[in-house]
Amino acid sequence: MIALLTKISGLTLARLLGALVTFAITIVIARQFGTDELAIYAVCISVANLAAVAIPLGLQSLAPVEIAKMSAFPDRSAIRDFISHGRRVIARSFLVTTLLALLFAAAVFLTGKASEYTAPAVIAVMALAPIMALNQLHGGVLIGLQKPFSGQLADGLVKPLVTLAVLLAAVAAFQDRSMAAILLAIGLGAVAAMAIQVRTLKPQMAGPTKTHAPNAGTRRDWSRRSRSWLGITLCWDYQIEILLLACALIAAPLEIALLHVCFRIRVLIGFGIRALYVVLQPKIFQACAKGDRTRTKRLIGRLNGVATAYIAASIAALLVAAEHVLGLFNPDFSAYGNLLLVICSAAVLRAIFGPSITVLASHERQGEILALLAVGVASSVALAFVLYPLIGVLGIAVAYCASVMMAAVGMWLLAKLRCDTDTAIWANSLV
């Protein structure tokens, strides 16, 4: 347990540092570029993130599961084939994405429907999304190889550090406060992260070995199985981006900027739990693959115990500091501490019901996971459109939290019924 906590603490600390650097980027944009530019940045980064998720067609999410299983056997060739296949899929998908982005831009400008978000968002998709897609694919492979530091830190720490350095240089040395400077900084940070990941994966791309893992899976099988993972990733990890883009149609730029800041803090709160998943999820996959129910329950109990302590401490800190933290970005934001608390309470709900998505994924229940999550995302958008006219931006936060609760409860019930595994915090020993 001590070794586990040490590894998780180190990874969480590094990701926390990366998140603080990301906050510094947001503060620089808000203070130096203005709230309107922060709103455009929020839309651009959301669109680029969603495109980056779509381009690998779900292979980045399949990678931790598949690579973890492959790594249980001495089969370097299968791992190398998976990486090569993923890179080829990204190259082909990028061409299609670029064409669609250009057609969209042409249609919008020709019909006179363009807004201040249109041109920067299209540029972000074409210039940033393919590099970010490679970051995600390589990170997923490294997590599956149980190299969480290599898999997470390039994207989670190096990328924001380089982005911040380039952004500060643009402002200080060249007095450049354009959206082009922001997009260039993000792009250079993503390239730096990709270079580190490629170097780390170089040994895996060496010549094939003679041994082969049983049931290694063909490239066609990988593509078939990854389709569900594409939808799962969009609905699970990028629900925030989908909701933010939808709300950009009804909310003012100041409110979009406020939501972006609150959701980034929500992501920061989730880093500790994400680090825990990065360390323990491959082990749970391996235990499930071997049918070791005792080890599976023990690992779930460890995950729940650490996650509960961490999230309790995080929410307690927010109760004291929420208004002050929001005030760093814009003095007007400090009046919305309750909004931040509502959004971050979603992390509590996910922690209570445990790693049900991991158990369901290990039992090949991706279709059921996707159906639940898709309903949750659709419900959050619909409920946000209903509540926003009634209670303003707080309605968007309530809609998000309600959808997360529905998905968490649904997957917990599915794991009990389909996999005979109760993942909730009350069902497992927290040691």
Domain ranges in the chain?
Answer: 1-237, 239-431
Q: How many residues does the chain have?
A: 431
In the prediction, which pLDDT does 427 show? 73
Average per-residue pLDDT for the chain:
84
First to last CA, the chain: 8
In the prediction, which pLDDT does 215 show? 46
Confirm if 430 and 301 have CB atoms less than 8 A apart. Answer: yes
pTM here is 0.77
Higher pLDDT, residue 175 or 53: 53
Higher pLDDT, residue 420 or 188: 188
How many angstroms separate the CA atoms of 254 and 265, rounded?
Answer: 17
Rounded average pLDDT over 276-284: 74
Rounded average pLDDT over 406-410: 90
**Distance from CA of residue 325 to its chain's centroid?**
22
Query: Would you place residue 396 in the very low, low, confident or very high pLDDT band (cuts 50, 70, 90)?
Result: very high
Q: Is a pLDDT exceeding 80 seen at residue 216?
A: no
Confirm if 61 and 232 have CB atoms less than 8 A apart. Answer: yes
Query: Would you place residue 348 in the very low, low, confident or very high pLDDT band (cuts 50, 70, 90)?
Result: confident
Q: Is a pLDDT exceeding 60 seen at residue 135?
A: yes
How many angstroms separate the CA atoms of 365 and 414, rounded?
Answer: 9
Confirm if 216 and 82 have CB atoms less than 8 A apart. Answer: no
How many angstroms separate the CA atoms of 75 and 68, rounded?
Answer: 11
Query: Would you place residue 213 in the very low, low, confident or very high pLDDT band (cuts 50, 70, 90)?
Result: very low
DSSP letter at 428 equals S
In the prediction, which pLDDT does 214 show? 40
Q: What digits encode the pLDDT tens for the residues 289-331?
A: 677 777 878 888 888 888 888 888 888 999 999 999 898 888 8
In the prediction, which pLDDT does 363 show? 77
How many angstroms separate the CA atoms of 121 and 285, rounded?
Answer: 37
